[in-house]
Structure 1
Amino acid sequence: MRPQLSIPLSLLTLAITASFSSIAQASSVDNLPSSQSYTGLMFIPNAQVIDHGDFNLSFHQGVPYNSSIASLDDWFFAAGVFKGLEAGGRIVTNTYDCNGYFDTHCGIRDLSASFKYQLPFVYNYTGINLAVGIQDLGGEANNFDTRYIVADKTFDNLNLRLSAGYGQSNLAFGIMDGPFGGAEWQPLPFMQVIGEYDASKFNANAKLFTPEGLLPYGIQLSIDYELYTGHKNSDQSVWGINAAVPLLGYKTNKRQHLSVDNQQHLQHAINQQLDSHKNSNLQSLMAALKNDGFINLQLGKRDGKLVIALENRRYNHNPIDGVGVALGLIAANTSTKTFADFATTAKLKEEDKQHVELIMLTNGIPMMTINGNMSDYRQFLLTGDHNPSLSFNSYNAKNQFNQTQWLTQKENNGFGRSQIILSPELAHRTATEYGFFDYSLALGTNLYTPLWQGAALDIRHTLPIDESDDFKAGEIWGNSAYDNEIDRIFLHQAFKLPQNIMTQFSGGYMYGSYWGGMNETNWFSPEGKHSLGFKVSQFSHKDKDQSFNKKEDKGVRLAHYLYSQPEWNWQLELQGGEFWQGDQGIKATSSHWLGDARLSASYLTSKAQGSNDYENFLSLSISFPLTPWRDMKPGYIQVRGIDQFTYTLQTRVGADGHNNINTGLGGSNDLQHNLTRQYQGQNRLTKAYFDANIQHLRNAYIRYIKNVEM
Structure 2
Amino acid sequence: MNKLPALMSVAGLLLWPTWPAQAQGLGVASLGAVGGLNIPSAYVLGKGDAVVSIGNEDPNLGTAYNHQRNYLAGFGLGGGVELFGRLNHNQNLPNPRPDSAELIGGDLSASLKWQLPIEARGLPKLALGLTDYGGEAAVYFRSIYAVASDELGPLRWSLGYARSKQSVVRKAGRVLDGVFGGAELRLWDTRATLLAETDGTRRHAGLRYYSPVLPWLGDAQVIGTVQRSFGSVIPQSNTNSVNLALVVPLQTDDATRTQRSRSAAKAQPPLPALAAASNTPSAERLATLYSALRSAGLDRVRVGTIADDLVVEYENQRYLHNELDAMGIVLGLAAEHAPVNSRRLHVITRKAGLVVSETSVSVPSYRAWLRDAAESSAVQATLGFSHLPGYDTSTVVWAHGNVQAVNRVRVALSPLLNYTVGTEIGLFDHSLAVQARTSVPLWTGAEVYADVVQRVDNSINMDPGRAYANLRHRNGLQTLALQQSFWLGRQTLASVGAGLYQYNTAGLEAEATVFVPGRSEDSVHLRARAVHATDSSELPGTYNASSASYRWRMNPDTWLEGGMHSYTDGSKGPALALTRWFGDVSLQMFARKGGGNSFIGLELSLPLTPRQGMGANTVALNGNPRYTLPIRTLLTSDTDRLNSQRPNAVRPVDLSYKSEVALINSGRMTPDYLSTQLPRLRESFYLYGRGLMPL
| TM norm structure 1 | 0.87
1:35–1:238 contact (8 Å) kept in structure 2: no
The two structures, once aligned, show a CA RMSD in angstroms of 2.9
* Alignment CA distance shift 1:528-1:319 (3 Å): farther
CA distance in 2, matches of 1:274, 1:45: 57
The aligned residue for residue 9 of structure 2 is: 16
Structure 2 residue matching 1:286: 3-state secondary structure: helix
Partner Cα separation in structure 2 for residue 457 and residue 276 of structure 1: 48
Partner of 1:589: 577
Q: CA separation in 2, counterparts of 1:43 and 1:315?
A: 43
The reply to whether residue 243 of structure 1 matches residue 237 of structure 2 is no
Cross-structure match for 1:482 = 473
Deviations 1:202-223 (A, max 9, x none): 3322212214468753221122
Structure 2 CA distance for aligned equivalents of residues 407 and 201 of structure 1: 76
Give CA deviations for 1:112-164 in whole Å, capped at 9, x if unaligned.
122212122x1246532111112222322222212211111211xx2112211
Partner residue in 2 for 1:346: none
2: distance between equivalents of 1:176 and 1:310? 58
Task: Report the AA paired with residue 245 of structure 2.
Answer: A
Residue 231 in structure 1 maps to residue 222 in structure 2: no
Does 1:66 pair with 2:48? no
Inter-partner Cα distance in structure 2 for 1:149 and 1:100: 43
Equivalent residue for 1:179?
179
Residue 529 of structure 1 is matched in structure 2 by: 521
Cα 1:511–1:146 change in 2 (3 A) is farther
| Post-superposition offset of 1:641 | 0.6
Which stretches in structure 2 are left out of the alignment for 5+ residues?
167-171
Letter in 2 for 1:679: L
SS in 2 for 1:161: strand
2:558 is the alignment partner of 1:570: yes
Contact 2:50-2:250 at 8 Å conserved across structures: no
Residues 249 and 93 (structure 1), Cα distance of their counterparts in 2 relative to 1, 3 Å cut:
same
Query: What is the CA–CA distance in structure 2 between the aligned matches of 1:100 and 1:393, rounded to whole Å?
Result: 61
Provide the secondary structure at the position in 2 that maps to 1:433: coil
In structure 1, the residue matched to 2:160 is 165
Alignment of 1:394-409 (within 5 A): 394-397=386-389, 400=391, 402-408=393-399
Select which of 88, 91, 103 maps to 1:92: 88
- Cα 1:231–1:553 change in 2 (3 A) is closer
Aligned residues of 1:626 and 1:644 also touching (Cα < 8 A): yes
Partner of 1:4: none
* C-alpha contact 1:99 1:106 (8 A) present in aligned 2: no
Q: What letter corresponds to residue 35 of structure 1 in structure 2?
A: S
Query: Are residue 683 (structure 1) and residue 667 (structure 2) matched?
Result: yes
SS at match of 2:320: coil
Aligned to 2:130: 134
1:114 and 2:111 are equivalent in the alignment: yes
The aligned residue for residue 290 of structure 2 is 286
Distance 1:73 1:24 in 2: 37
* 1:384 matched residue in structure 2: 373
Q: 1:464 aligns with which of 444, 450, 455?
A: 455
TM-superposed deviation, 1:375? 2.3
Choose the corresponding residue for 2:350, options 357, 361, 374: 361
Question: Distance in 1 between the 2:360 and 2:633 partners?
Answer: 47
**8 Å Cα contact 2:145-2:161 kept in structure 1:** yes
* SS at structure 1 position matched to 2:532: strand
Paired letter, 1:108: G
Match of 1:340?
none
SS in 1 for 2:655: coil
Correspondence for 1:311: 315
1:662 aligns with 2:646: yes
The corresponding residue for 2:330 is 326
* Alpha-carbon contact 1:248-1:624 (below 8 Å) kept: no
2:606 counterpart residue number: 624
Query: Which shifted more, 435-444 or 378-387?
Result: 378-387
For residues 197-212 of structure 1, the aligned pairs below 5 Å read: 197-212=198-213
User: Offset at 1:99?
Assistant: 10
Q: 1:33 to 1:305 in 2, by over 3 A?
A: same
Partner of 2:631: 649
- Which region of structure 1 is more displaced relative to structure 2, 62-71 or 36-45? 62-71
Residue 561 of structure 1 pairs with residue 550 of structure 2 = yes
Distance 1:113 1:160 in 2: 29
Separation in 1 of the partners of 2:365 and 2:493? 33
Q: 436-445 or 366-375, which moves further after superposition? A: 366-375
The answer as to whether partners of 2:315 and 2:350 remain within 8 angstroms in 1 is yes
Instruction: Please say if residues 425 and 441 of structure 1, whose CA atoms lie closer than 8 Å, have aligned partners that are also in contact.
Output: yes
| Deviation of 1:277 (Å) | 5.8
For residues 510-549 of structure 1, the aligned pairs below 5 Å read 510-525=501-516, 528-541=520-533
Maintained 8 Å contact 1:206/1:227? no
Letter in 2 for 1:139: G
TM-superposed CA distance for 1:62, in Å, is 2.0
Contact kept in structure 1, 2:320 and 2:613, CA below 8 Å: yes
Q: 1: CA distance between counterparts of 2:133 and 2:124?
A: 27
Counterpart in 2 of 1:5? none
SS of the aligned residue for 2:494 comes to strand
Aligned 8 A contact 2:209 2:223 in 1? yes
Q: What is the DSSP-based 3-state SS (H/G/I as helix, E as strand, rest coil) of the residue aligned with 2:533?
A: strand
The offset of 1:452, in angstroms, is 0.7
Residue in 2 that maps onto 1:53:
48
Structure 2 contact 127–147 (Cα < 8 Å) conserved: yes
Name which of structure 1's ranges 591-600 and 382-391 shifts more when overlaid on structure 2.
382-391
Structure 1 window deviating more from structure 2 (187-196 vs 423-432): it is: 187-196
Residue in structure 1 matched with residue 169 of structure 2 by the alignment? none
When residues 482 and 428 of structure 1 are mapped into structure 2, their CA distance, relative to the original with a 3 A threshold, is same
Q: Quote the residue 1:426 is aligned against.
A: 417
Distance, in Å, in 1 between the alignment partners of 2:588 and 2:173 is 34
The change in CA–CA distance for 1:103 and 1:500 in structure 2 (over 3 A counts) is: same
Tell me, in whole angstroms, the C-alpha distance in 2 between the residues paired with 1:469 and 1:85: 39
Does the 8 Å contact 2:202/2:229 carry over to 1? no
Change (3 A) 1:193 1:509: same
Aligned letter for 1:49? V
Name the TM-score, length of structure 2 as normaliser. 0.89
SS in 2 for 1:30: coil
Other structure's SS at 2:333 match: helix
State the AA in 2 paired with 1:20: L
Pick closer, same or farther for the CA change 1:164–1:68 going to 2, 3 Å.
Answer: farther
What residue identity is the alignment partner of 1:174? R
Q: Is the 8 A contact 2:229 2:240 kept in 1?
A: no
User: How far is 1:10 from its partner?
Assistant: 4.5
The answer (yes or no) to whether the contact 1:99–1:433 under 8 Å persists in 2 is no
2:527·2:653 contact (CA, 8 Å) conserved in 1? no
Post-superposition Cα deviations, 1:294-350, rounded to whole Å, max 9, x if no partner, equal 2222233335412222111111101111111111111221231xxxxxxxxxxxxx6
Contact 2:502 2:542 in 1 (8 A): no
Structure 1 residues 358 and 148: CA distance shift in structure 2, 3 A? same
1:592 shift after superposition: 1.2
Determine the C-alpha separation between the residues in 1 that align with 2:122 and 2:519. 39
Amino acid in the other structure paired with 2:375? H
